[in-house]
Amino acid sequence: MSLRERVNQPKDTRPWYGELPVESLYTVGIAGEKFLRTLKEKGQFLGTKCDRCRQVYVPPKIYCERCLAKLDDWVKVGSCGTLESWTMVHVGLDGQKLKKPELVALVKLDGASTCIVHKLAGIPVEELHIGMRVCAVLKPKTKREGAITDILHFKPADR
Ligand SMILES: [Zn+2]
């Protein structure tokens, strides 16, 4: 079967063994760029607001996920928030086992309706609890690159 062979019926499909070179380029989009640029340059978190649905999206969206309205009302949200959930991660994004497991958290920043996913550090897992206050730890301004890794991790607010 060649790549140009056309299958008109799903029952005529067959497995193809081998490898395909796949490359992808991820772009953060309009909202993601403004979010990351502001984080890099000002160390502030931005969200977009839908007045109709009373939602503040962080990370920001350019369309409301609920009513599909175009969103262009940008609002500052806090760099601290509440821990909504967490998990211990043992495998990295490359599929390889991590040398040391990492905590990954869902954090709802103050003023946001949605959560951001990021690393959590500075606390033993036994001390974690839903609703605890956590704050973002950013790279020093001169080291920021305009990437989500400009946030080093979240840590408990009281430490
Ligand atoms: Zn909406």
Q: Mind listing the pLDDT tens digit for each residue in 69-127?
A: 999 999 999 999 999 999 999 998 888 999 999 999 999 999 999 999 999 999 999 99
Among the listed residues 86, 75, 76, 68, the one whose alpha carbon sits nearest the alpha carbon of residue 122? 86
Residue 26 has pLDDT above 60, yes or no: yes
Q: What is the mean predicted confidence (pLDDT) over 55-63?
A: 97
Distance from Cα 112 to the centre of ligand 1, integer Å: 14
pLDDT category, 43, cuts 50, 70, 90?
very high
What integer is the mean pLDDT of 15-37? 88
1 vs 94, higher pLDDT:
94
- Give the other-Cβ count within 10 Å of 49's Cβ: 21
What pLDDT is attached to residue 2? 63
CA 81 to centroid of ligand 1, rounded, Å = 22
Task: Calculate how far, in angstroms, residue 86's C-alpha sits from the geometric centre of ligand 1.
Answer: 27
Distance 51 CA to ligand 1 centre (A): 7
Contact in structure between 13 and 6 (CB atoms under 8 Å)? no
User: If you measure from the C-alpha of residue 13 to the centroid of ligand 1, how many angstroms do you get, rounded to a whole number?
Assistant: 42
Single-letter code of the amino acid located at 99:
K
- Cα–Cα distance list, 117 to 10, 58, 100, 107, 151 (Å): 38, 10, 19, 6, 11
Q: 115 alpha carbon to ligand 1 midpoint, in Å?
A: 17
Cβ proximity of 114 and 106 under 8 Å: no
pLDDT at 154 over 80: yes
- Cα(74) to centroid(ligand 1), Å: 14
* Res. 1 pLDDT band, cuts 50 70 90: low
Confidence band of 35 (pLDDT split at 50, 70, 90): very high
* Ligand 1 centroid to residue 156 C-alpha, Å: 32
157 CB-near residues (< 8 Å, 6+ apart) = 80, 132, 133, 134, 135
Long-range contacts of 39-44, Cβ-Cβ distance < 8 Å, separation of 24 or more: 39/138, 39/144, 39/146, 39/150, 39/151, 40/141, 40/144, 40/145, 40/146, 40/150, 41/144, 43/79, 43/138, 43/141, 44/76, 44/79
CA of 116 to the centre of ligand 1 (A): 19
The enclosing H or E element of 141 equals none
The first and second tokens of residue 88, run together, are 């211990």
Calculate how far, in angstroms, residue 57's C-alpha sits from the geometric centre of ligand 1. 10
